[in-house]
Structure 1
Amino acid sequence: MHPAPDHDALVVGEALIDEVVAADGAVREHPGGSPANVAVTLGRLGRRPRLATQLGRDDRGRRVREWLSASGVVLARGCEQEDPTSVATCRLGADGGATYDFALTWSPDLSGVGTAPLVHVGSIATLLEPGAGEVLRLLERSRETALVTYDPNVRPTICPDREAVRHRVEQFVGLADVVKVSDEDLAWLYPGEGAMTVLRRWATAGPAAVVVTRGAEGSVLLAGESCREVPGRSVDVVDTIGAGDSFMGALIHGLLDLVPPGAEARTGLRGASVETLAPIVEFAGEVAAVTVARAGANPPWRHEVAA
C-alpha cells in the first residue's frame, strides 16, 4: 500500500438531503448526494477525502456537514452559500428501486479547492449549469497532477436533453482515467446501442479502464483490449439508494492502493491488466452489496467488508 497524503482524494459534486418516500407513503430524510456518498464511502474505508460541494447555512446543511464529518470527510473552502441546501425526493418501489425528483441549485465556488492525487467528479455536478462548466475546467487543470475518475450517474428529470447530456458526458469521459457507468445510464444515453460497443468507444477516447455495473448481475470491466465479467453478489435488497456511489468509492479506494499517487499513476494504470483490476472491481461490488442490504445511502465501514 502506498502512503496516503493528508487528502488522497478530492471529490467534487453535490451534497444534499434525500427525502425518501417509501412504498407505503412513509417519509424520512437523511443526507446524501452522489459525490457526497462517494466521499463518505472513501472515508469509511479509511481514506482521507476532501469534498468540494455547495451547502446552505440552514438546518439541513448542518445535518449534511455533521454526517460528512462523522465519516472522515473534510469540506473544501467555499462550500457554504446563501442558497438553501438542495433536496432530492426519492420514491421507493415495492422492489426497493428508486426514482428521483430534485429541488437544487449548483453554482459552487471552486476557486480555492486545490487538488489531490486523485480527483473524482460525477452526476448532477457535471451536468447542471452554471456549476458544470466550472467542474469541467477544474478537471482540465487537475489532470496535470492527478488521476481522474468519473461516474456520469445521469438524472434525466433534471437534464432531459439527451443529446446535450451525451455531449457533456463524452467530454468528461475524454478527461477521465477510469469511468464507472451503470447499464441504466448507458441505455438512456445510447438507446438501442449495445453496452460493449459504447464501452469500447469510450476506452479509445481516453480512459485506461471502464466499468459498467449491472446490479445483481455484477459488472463488466474493460481495460485496453481485454474484457472481464465480474460476478455480482446475491443479497436481500432493502433499497438501491447509494449503491452505485459506494461501488465508485470502493473502486477509487482500490485504485489508490494499486498505483503511485498523482499524475504518474496514469502510466501505471495503463499498464494494469484486467487480472490486476478485477479484484478491485470485485471488492467494489462487495461494498455495494452491503449498501443495498440496508436502508438509505449507508456504505459500510472498512471492518464490515472482507479484505
Structure 2
Amino acid sequence: MLKRLAICLSLVAGVASAQDRPVVATVNYPLAWMAERLGGDAVEVLFPVPEGRDPSFWRPGLSEIAAIQQADLIALNGAGFATWTTRTSLPGSRLVDTSAGFSDAYIATQSVTHSHGADGEHSHTGTASYTWLDFAQAARQAEALAAAMKRRMPELGNQIDAALPGLVTELTALDAEARETLTTLQGTTILATHPRYQYLARAYGLDITSLEWDAGAMPNDTQWQELQTMAGETAATLLIWEAAPPEGAIDRASELGLKSVVFSPLATRPSSGDFVSVLKTQIADMVADR
C-alpha cells in the first residue's frame, strides 16, 4: 500500500515539477516513444503503467487518474486498447485517439476471457488493439499525435514540425524492412503464445495462430499438449513468445520441433533499446537460420 502511494505521489509530483513544460500522457510505450521523439526535452511524457503490468488492461488508481487528467494532452491508442479510458472522465478537448484515422481497418476478434496476474480477469473482445505492429499504421499514429500536440501546444509547432519527418521516415523504413525480411515466412504457420500479432500478420502476409498463455509463465501439461497438437496439425516450426519464458520452456518447445523467438509487442517500455531498435532485432530473430 505504501509503495503504491509513493508511486502515485511521484506521478503527481512529476507533473507539478514539469509545470514549465507541457505534459503528454500516454496509454502505452509506442505512444510515449513517439511523444518523446516529437517533443524532445520541451515536453514531459507521462506513461504511468507500473513495470510488469499489461497496459491493455491495467486500471489506474485515483491519484494516477488525477495526474493524467492534468496533462495538456492525453494520447489514446484506440481500437479498444486501455479499456479504463472508456470508464473514466477525461477532458475531451485534450484527448486524441491516434488510430481513429484508420478505424475502418481495425481487425475484429473473437471473445476470450482469462486472467493475467495482477491485472485480473479480462476479455479479448471485439477488436485487435495492438495497431502499431503494422508499422505503416504506427506512422499514421505518429502523424495524428503530432497534429494533436501542435494543436494543444502551439508554441512547440516548430519543434514538432522538425521532428515529425524523421520519425515517419524511420517507421516507414521499418515497415519496408519488415515486408522484405518476413517474406521468407509467408506460406508457413507461426504459433504465438498470445493473440497480440493480428496487425503484424496482416501487414506482412503471415499466418499466425495464437494460444492463450500467460506472459512469462511456465505452461502447464495441458498447454504443452495443446501446443504439440497445434504444431502437428499446422506443421509449424516457429513459436513466438510474448515475453521471455521461464528456464526450460524453450528447450521443451525445441523438443517439439519448434524454434522459439521472444517477440515483445512493446506495449511496455523495453529494458534496453527503443521501439525501432527492438523491433528490428525481433524481426531478424524470426528469420534467423532459415
Q: TM-score w.r.t. structure 1 length?
A: 0.29
User: Which structure's relative contact order is higher, taking Cα pairs within 8 Å and 6+ residues apart?
Assistant: 1
Whichever of the two has the greater Rg, that structure is 2
The structure carrying a bigger strand percent of its residues is 1
The structure carrying a bigger helix percent of its residues is 2
Q: TM-score w.r.t. structure 2 length?
A: 0.31
